[in-house]
Amino acid sequence: METTYVMVKPDGVQRGLIGEIIGRFEQKGLKLVGLKAMVPSEEIARAHYAVHAERPFFPGLIKFVTSGPVVCMAWAGRDAISVARNLIGPTNGREAPPGTIRGDYGMDIGYNMIHGSDAPETAEFELGLWFPEGVMEWDQTISKWFYE
Scanning 14-22, 73-81, 106-114, 137-145 for contacts with ligand DAT by CB under 6 A, the matching segment is 106-114
- Kindly state whether residue 118 participates in binding ligand DAT, applying the rule CB under 6 A: yes
Let me know if 115 is a catalytic residue.
yes
Q: Is 29 one of the binding residues for ligand DAT (CB under 6 A)? A: no
Q: Which of 9, 85, 102, 115 is catalytic?
A: 115
**Checking phi first, is residue 145 left (phi over 0); if not, alpha (psi -120 to 50) or beta?**
alpha
- Distance (Å, rounded) from C-alpha 40 to C-alpha 71? 10
Binding mask 71-100 for ligand DAT (x = CB under 6 A): --------------------x---------
Return the ∠ at Cα 80 (arms to 79 and 83), rounded to 5°.
85
State the DSSP H helix or E strand holding residue 67, giving kind and residue range, or none if neither: none
CA distances in angstroms from 36 to 13, 40, 69, 73, 135, listed in the order given: 13, 12, 10, 7, 11
- Shortest Cβ distance from residue 93 to ligand DAT (Å)? 10
Partner residues linked to 8 by β-bridges: 71, 114
Examine residue 115 and tell whether it contacts ligand DAT (CB under 6 A): yes
Q: Binders of Mg ion: how many residues, by CB under 5 A?
A: 1
User: How far from the centroid of its chain's Cα atoms is residue 44's Cα?
Assistant: 15
Catalytic residues: 115
The residues binding ligand DAT (CB under 6 A) are: 52, 57, 61, 91, 109-110, 112, 115, 118
